[in-house]
Structure 1
């Protein structure tokens, strides 16, 4: 039998048939699985990323997204001055540091400017919530294509960027900007956002904000801009370097070779802005056409460079004073104070009188006003400060010549120089009168006080001494010895304290120089003005203003107050409005000082400062080396101090006082048209004749001084009138026929030998009276020849040494009879009488009768009357 297994192997096995899928379907299946997996992964990843993003936004972005609108506008500060015609403060000068900005409110901004800004910068500004998502997505696409993240910024976002100064281009910054814009838009109104934006944007030429730019480019207030000007102005912000009207950039078109200027590019973009405004329905076609056709008139020509701001001397002084006061009174650092003045939006109310300041500048900006080149070739320099009765500095100049830079050396307030004799009223005469030590009638010796190193000290200028003189004369002629004597009587320490504490002039208590300790306690310093360091022109003007102000010291001020707007409220930072001052001198002292200092100008050392028709008082000053010359003077209207010298001290060679000359040049203009008036009147004055040699009431002998009238009429207060009569003069009899001769044989003016026994004292027919009484001094002085002792040393009259012969009895010619010899005269009675000569006979002179007519003859017809003999009473 055959095998089974073999059968099974030999016959094929039948299988069940299957449906087979196509390759395309199979591929799609695989792709679907992959895509599904990717979607799932992406979904999971997106969820994870979203979670991370939410955490990041919540923890990192949102805490930084809120922005308070307390922007530092870096505002321009403004100096105001009072218009004397209206009494209102008006804008004088804008101050700015690195950013020149003036703030305006929304209602001051033209609607055309707002619309132009929206049209060219953010046309959906009024509709979006701070972020324009359409523009934002465009920015994201730029990011994914590898280009810079730019564009898409709304006005709100630009404001935030300008306010925060975040200019880094990063994803984080962009995200932070978006969320901040959303928050900001939800917090503040569109009008507020637009106002802040237009106050912050940069518009070229160092102009920040539309208000400053409007003034800079068009010379207008922003509210006055036309539609065409609004479009031109906002065109700049896209790129001030390219579109600024004053841009110096020239761009050449590579295809056409055309070169465009900033002004041309500004016009092109202006027309684009106007077109956008038309397209958005903000303006009509007519308005568009008119604006395009309107000629843009700019403040400067296209090639004209922007002038740099050079502050005048007064404005710069205000800036300096405010900075210093912010440091001392507000505790600011120097840097912060400077930033506040230039960029803090301060309002500074200055005391300047622009009329007076212009007069100061007309003289001081002209170097030819004073030409005194030094031996080393330096130009002469000068400075001036003018103060009114309220303590306001109304004008000043810190140097002579045109001012060409800012923050340069101001020789009116920034330097000190030795005052010379101009210090005397402050350190000597004013204090001594106030203390009751002297009056103008007090007498001191204008003679050397002592001998130093073999030389008389102090010297006068010119180098003469005058003997005894009153204080009034000492001030007038600027006597150095008298100033020293009064100071030493008062005491240097007293003077030092008075100058520092009353007149507020800083003196030196102790200063080490080259191993030597110096101070200002000596006579040379306080009486002659040789201070260790010196005094400023500002301080001298302030000190002298006390005299016309009846003894009141007011600290000089260049501004009245400084304010800053905080949260819409004007806050006072510095207040100088109170100016009551401090009474440091009595009205008695100021009356005396005013009278004496008037004499300095009318007939003393300050005559060069006279102003026709105006009361002027003042004092000159010069130093020993003549390196510094001063005149500090005042009228009832203003006080002014003038210094003249060289920047590096050298001797001044001038025939007069150049400081008085400069004072007169300025102050004569300042007082033009002002009515003359005097200083304050005083009550209780008494007229008294004072002897100039004793300072006491004049005696008869004082009026007869051979040097001339030694009596001066003075007005003194009752308690200052001397009770005693002068004892310095005594009357002596001298003979006028016997003058005293000097060493050269010439008569000494007014001096004669003492009358002798035989000098005629009564009427004498032969010689008349030759004896008279003169007043001479009883004590030795510089005029030692005019003393009684000197006359006594010369002896008595050298002419009348014997008794005068008896004069004959007078003869009566009517008694003459030729036939009676007893009636004849003697030769003494009728010299030349000769009985033999009829022409010598005594005759009676004919009676006075009318002048005869021509042809008529006198006397008896046919006879001629003898010529009358001279009378015994005729001395000819």
Structure 2
């Protein structure tokens, strides 16, 4: 047996001779060699499962799981609709000179196309926020991961997002700091970057970001900080606005601490240096740039005072035009489109004339009202509208003392009688239709009528016998005198002579809303409703020699994606020039020798200015009017009695303490005074009418008409008196030749109807002071 075999035999015997271990026995040396061997055996078992291969495999497994989850997330998360707040814009309202009138809407934002922003200014935002914007895929994975970890660990907001991600957050999502929102932001940003151009994303970013000072978007920010449009920003200014986005409140120069100013200046420099680094700005140009200190904050114009009236009237005009051109289905739809925002609306309102009109109303009326002393003073409402007759532009409007105190616009309301301001339209119809009296005589300014109060009209199936003011009878008078003194009985008969259907037709052509009106003699007293704006348009058509003038408040309206075209305010010839000019000539007599002479003719500021106009005062003194014009300006002023508590129509008698004329507020009083104070201040150069007429008489001569009147064979209480005209004659006028006899030779076919509302705008009894008070 060799040595090797002997060794193996010994080892085999040793194994057979080893004693068996019981479960409860303690083997000497078990903690030695045996325990150590057992420990090695256990460690060897763990290594079989935890080694570098296992760790690496697990890591890749998690990666694959994450990738799978992200793929699923990418597939299920779509680009949502933009949130309402991000789409909301304000409306911008401007005066005719382009200066800001008002800005409305909860969000001060006006979207602008990127091509309206200078290229250099565009680059400031990229340089400040995301230099790799034009190269990246829309996301910053490291920044997003850092944000998620900080959110999970409770450390709060963390920057590092790309411009695309910030745009997605502003426009599609919200500002919540949650893991789910950040993951959605990541997915949507990737999709947006693939579906939209970089320019679209940048435009969205600068239009949705908040810049402080309640300014959302670059246009609002440019106005808030530099009083400029986005299109006029410089690179220096753009760099400041881009720098603001990091901390709008802290970096607003007007309220920033020294630290805040230092930080925003550092960021401004950082932005410009990045532009140089990227090749977007010349280094020498950069060195010459100085920090553009923003202008101090300026409160946005509110809706108080006249602003609210102007804004709402402009909105209504725009809404009606949207319906007219088919952009909106109906007025409700149109108003919703306007209120959605994004409009820049330029009004025809002349800022200087608007201020002059407000000043005139205050000086001539509202400063004299004292509701604590006289209850009636709380019931006085004033409205006015001023129109350029050559262009149709509404250059000034007065809606009431304050939009917040009286919501209803007195310049556009139509619920008060037009009263005797309607009389010129009757004459216009007579001239245009070449109407004749009952005896077949042409109606002209010199035609003789019977001015007896309560004289029944002749030739009407409907009985009508209106009283004159204070039941005063004038006897035989010309049409000119009847207009000067606003004699109701004359124009009631004239309306019947012309035919009330024709009167209302011509009134409608001149611009008055006559829809639904009955063609009855009572309409000759102006019993229909009208607004100062409407009457200004009617008289502007007369001033414009018969070419239709439709007052236009809005000059233009632009939206991001469309421009609204408005019709030309000047229309076609609706009545002949001779007819229109003759009415104008006659209306100069109302000023020079009639119911407006005290307030207008004798006004020291008139300076020779030629004026035509007509007063009006309605039944029970609920309204008082003066609508007058010069060759370049037409203005209608109305005063309305409105109960301050329940808005019912009430009398204005005794307002401001008036005692003369029974306390009556006449059209020749405050309305004419307001008109004169405004017009003679706003007119400037003195002008004269260029009239084409052969029948206008203006001031009536004093000579008695050369004809013999034969009284009716059936006298009654309405028989004409024999009073003669009492007006003064101009030295250059020759007496007219009467063309007709009084038209009272036949009784009416029916009995007069019940009393009707009566205009009361005759000449005040006291020529020295028609506004005499206690």
TM-score (norm 1): 0.64
Q: Quick one: which of 474, 479, 490 aligns to 1:471? A: 479
Decide whether aligned partners of structure 1 residues 369 and 484 sit closer, same or farther in structure 2, where only a CA change above 3 A counts.
same
Q: Quick one: which of 430, 444, 453 aligns to 2:449? A: 444
SS state at 1:238 partner: coil
CA offset at residue 58 of structure 1?
Answer: 5.4
How do 1:12-23 and structure 2 match up within 5 A? 15=15, 22-23=37-38
Partner of 1:776: none
After superposing the two structures, state which structure 1 stretch, 49-58 or 151-160, moved more.
Answer: 49-58
Cα contact 1:617–1:634 (8 A) shared by 2: yes
Cα contact 2:376–2:652 (8 A) shared by 1: no
Cα contact 1:561–1:573 (8 A) shared by 2: yes
Cα contact 1:228–1:270 (8 A) shared by 2: no
Partner of 1:389: 389
How do 1:43-62 and structure 2 match up within 5 A? 46=62, 49=65, 52-53=68-69, 56-57=72-73, 59-61=75-77
How do 1:330-409 and structure 2 match up within 5 A? 330-331=327-328, 337-338=334-335, 340-341=337-338, 344-366=341-363, 371=368, 375-379=374-378, 380-390=380-390, 392-399=392-399, 401=401, 403=402, 405=404, 408-409=407-408
Report the Cα distance in structure 2 between the residues aligned to 1:356 and 1:477, rounded to whole angstroms: 31
CA offset at residue 103 of structure 1?
Answer: 4.4
Report the Cα distance in structure 1 between the residues aligned to 2:693 and 2:510, rounded to whole angstroms: 23
Q: Quick one: which of 527, 532, 539 aligns to 1:537? A: 532
Decide whether aligned partners of structure 1 residues 498 and 715 sit closer, same or farther in structure 2, where only a CA change above 3 A counts.
farther
Decide whether aligned partners of structure 1 residues 186 and 650 sit closer, same or farther in structure 2, where only a CA change above 3 A counts.
same
CA offset at residue 584 of structure 1?
Answer: 3.0
Decide whether aligned partners of structure 1 residues 178 and 206 sit closer, same or farther in structure 2, where only a CA change above 3 A counts.
same
Partner of 2:664: none
Report the Cα distance in structure 1 between the residues aligned to 2:582 and 2:347, rounded to whole angstroms: 34
Q: Quick one: which of 315, 320, 342 aligns to 1:319? A: 315
CA offset at residue 678 of structure 1?
Answer: 2.0
Cα contact 2:118–2:233 (8 A) shared by 1: yes
Report the Cα distance in structure 2 between the residues aligned to 1:439 and 1:714, rounded to whole angstroms: 22
CA offset at residue 99 of structure 1?
Answer: 2.0
Are residues 1:177 and 2:185 paired?
A: yes
CA offset at residue 603 of structure 1?
Answer: 0.8
CA offset at residue 113 of structure 1?
Answer: 6.0
How do 1:128-147 and structure 2 match up within 5 A? 128-142=136-150, 145=153
Q: Quick one: which of 488, 494, 497 aligns to 1:489? A: 497
Are residues 1:418 and 2:417 paired?
A: yes
Decide whether aligned partners of structure 1 residues 74 and 507 sit closer, same or farther in structure 2, where only a CA change above 3 A counts.
same
1:31-82 per-residue CA deviation (whole Å, 9 max, x = no partner) reads 1333379769948964883685266145313xx1599999976455444565
Report the Cα distance in structure 2 between the residues aligned to 1:35 and 1:343, rounded to whole angstroms: 64
Decide whether aligned partners of structure 1 residues 340 and 495 sit closer, same or farther in structure 2, where only a CA change above 3 A counts.
same
Partner of 1:678: 689
1:516-541 per-residue CA deviation (whole Å, 9 max, x = no partner) reads xxxx55434x122233xx21111111
1:666-705 per-residue CA deviation (whole Å, 9 max, x = no partner) reads 111222224x222332479999999736599xxxxxxxx9
Report the Cα distance in structure 2 between the residues aligned to 1:388 and 1:306, rounded to whole angstroms: 29
Cα contact 2:144–2:182 (8 A) shared by 1: no
Report the Cα distance in structure 2 between the residues aligned to 1:60 and 1:493, rounded to whole angstroms: 71
1:563-604 per-residue CA deviation (whole Å, 9 max, x = no partner) reads 3343xxxx333422x344243322342233122211111111
Partner of 1:630: 625
How do 1:638-787 and structure 2 match up within 5 A? 638-648=633-643, 649-653=650-654, 654=658, 657-674=669-686, 676-682=687-693, 692=705, 694=707
CA offset at residue 499 of structure 1?
Answer: 3.4
Q: Quick one: which of 207, 210, 213 aligns to 2:218? A: 210
SS state at 1:193 partner: helix
CA offset at residue 175 of structure 1?
Answer: 3.1
Q: Quick one: which of 524, 530, 546 aligns to 2:541? A: 546
Decide whether aligned partners of structure 1 residues 99 and 554 sit closer, same or farther in structure 2, where only a CA change above 3 A counts.
same
CA offset at residue 135 of structure 1?
Answer: 1.3
Report the Cα distance in structure 1 between the residues aligned to 2:509 and 2:299, rounded to whole angstroms: 52
Are residues 1:597 and 2:608 paired?
A: no
Unaligned runs of 5+ in 1: 1-11, 84-89, 247-260, 510-519, 697-704, 729-778, 781-876
SS state at 2:375 partner: coil
Cα contact 1:609–1:664 (8 A) shared by 2: yes
Report the Cα distance in structure 1 between the residues aligned to 2:357 and 2:415, rounded to whole angstroms: 21
Report the Cα distance in structure 1 between the residues aligned to 2:113 and 2:511, rounded to whole angstroms: 47
Q: Quick one: which of 18, 24, 29 aligns to 2:44? A: 29
SS state at 1:361 partner: helix
CA offset at residue 501 of structure 1?
Answer: 5.7
Q: Quick one: which of 549, 569, 585 aligns to 2:575? A: 585
Select the structure that is richer in helix: 2
1:221-277 per-residue CA deviation (whole Å, 9 max, x = no partner) reads 55776787656544443344555456xxxxxxxxxxxxxx64556324314524645
TM-score (norm 2): 0.71
Q: Quick one: which of 200, 204, 208 aligns to 1:196? A: 204
1:126-152 per-residue CA deviation (whole Å, 9 max, x = no partner) reads 553221222123234335546668544
CA offset at residue 216 of structure 1?
Answer: 1.3
Q: Quick one: which of 295, 313, 328 aligns to 1:298? A: 295
SS state at 1:614 partner: coil
Decide whether aligned partners of structure 1 residues 147 and 24 sit closer, same or farther in structure 2, where only a CA change above 3 A counts.
farther
SS state at 1:352 partner: coil
Decide whether aligned partners of structure 1 residues 14 and 81 sit closer, same or farther in structure 2, where only a CA change above 3 A counts.
closer
Cα contact 1:203–1:240 (8 A) shared by 2: yes
Report the Cα distance in structure 2 between the residues aligned to 1:384 and 1:278, rounded to whole angstroms: 54
After superposing the two structures, state which structure 1 stretch, 14-23 or 433-442, moved more.
Answer: 14-23
Cα contact 1:314–1:396 (8 A) shared by 2: no
SS state at 1:599 partner: helix
Report the Cα distance in structure 2 between the residues aligned to 1:727 and 1:415, rounded to whole angstroms: 38
Are residues 1:267 and 2:249 paired?
A: no
Partner of 1:433: 431
Cα contact 1:76–1:94 (8 A) shared by 2: no
Report the Cα distance in structure 2 between the residues aligned to 1:540 and 1:348, rounded to whole angstroms: 25
Report the Cα distance in structure 1 between the residues aligned to 2:431 and 2:357, rounded to whole angstroms: 34
Report the Cα distance in structure 2 between the residues aligned to 1:685 and 1:263, rounded to whole angstroms: 74
CA offset at residue 480 of structure 1?
Answer: 1.3
Are residues 1:619 and 2:611 paired?
A: no
Unaligned runs of 5+ in 2: 1-11, 19-32, 437-442, 458-463, 644-649, 661-667, 710-721, 747-774
Report the Cα distance in structure 2 between the residues aligned to 1:423 and 1:368, rounded to whole angstroms: 24
SS state at 1:546 partner: helix
How do 1:50-199 and structure 2 match up within 5 A? 52-53=68-69, 56-57=72-73, 59-61=75-77, 64-65=78-79, 74-79=88-93, 90=98, 92-93=100-101, 95-103=103-111, 117-118=125-126, 121-122=129-130, 124-125=132-133, 127-142=135-150, 145=153, 151-186=159-194, 190=198, 192-199=200-207
SS state at 2:558 partner: strand
Partner of 2:764: none
CA offset at residue 642 of structure 1?
Answer: 1.0
Report the Cα distance in structure 2 between the residues aligned to 1:411 and 1:142, rounded to whole angstroms: 60
Report the Cα distance in structure 1 between the residues aligned to 2:206 and 2:199, rounded to whole angstroms: 11
Q: Between Structure 1 and Structure 2, how many residues are aligned?
A: 658
SS state at 2:626 partner: strand
Select the structure that is richer in strand: 1
Partner of 1:461: 469
SS state at 1:575 partner: coil
SS state at 1:625 partner: helix
Report the Cα distance in structure 1 between the residues aligned to 2:689 and 2:350, rounded to whole angstroms: 23
Cα contact 2:400–2:410 (8 A) shared by 1: no
Cα contact 1:352–1:558 (8 A) shared by 2: yes
CA offset at residue 631 of structure 1?
Answer: 1.0
Report the Cα distance in structure 1 between the residues aligned to 2:170 and 2:237, rounded to whole angstroms: 24
